[in-house]
Amino acid sequence: TIMKLNTIMKLDTIVKLNTIMKLDTIMKLNIIIKLYTTVKLKIIRKLYTIMKLDITMKLNILRKLGTIMKLDTIMKLNIIIKLYTTVKLKIIRKLYTIMKLDIL
């Protein structure tokens, strides 16, 4: 009976240890998964903000380019108007085609 009790106790402790270990690994895995997801989320958020910044920067550059282009076309148009009043139509037509090509 002592032997039997001993084996039962051993088995019991082994089972207990096993379940504790299992629980521990499950918990550890959960913590790792949670950490991984939070890190992923943080990285995604950072990437998103970088992307947002990049898009806004691009938009700003485009806006700047747009204003430069607008100014450039206005200046060119003014020059054409000035030329139009002083020079013949043929020269203006030539300039207009050159301008068109330049804009394209």
User: Tens digit of pLDDT for each residue in 3-46?
Assistant: 666 666 676 766 676 666 676 766 777 776 777 777 777 776 77
The predicted model scores a pTM of 0.30
Residue 102 tokens read as 């330049």
Angle between helices 2-86 and 89-103 (to 10 degrees): 170
Boundaries of domain holding 86:
2-103
Q: Which residue has the tokens 């330049």?
A: 102
Q: What is the mean pLDDT of the segment spanning 86-91? A: 60
For residue 84, what pLDDT is reported? 57
Residue 34 tokens read as 């949670």
For residue 41, what pLDDT is reported? 72
For residue 46, what pLDDT is reported? 73
**What 3-state DSSP class applies to 59?**
helix
As for how many domains the chain has, the answer is 1
Q: Which is nearest to 93 in space by CA: 80, 104, 82, 102?
A: 80
Q: What is the mean pLDDT of the segment spanning 65-77? A: 68
Residue 103 tokens read as 């804009």
Contact of 37 with 45, CB cutoff 8 Å: no
**What 3-state DSSP class applies to 75?**
helix
Neighbours of 80 (CB within 10 A): 15
Average pLDDT, the chain: 67
Q: What is the mean pLDDT of the segment spanning 59-65? A: 70
Q: How far apart are CA 73 and CA 83, in angstroms?
A: 15
- Is residue 87 over pLDDT 60? no
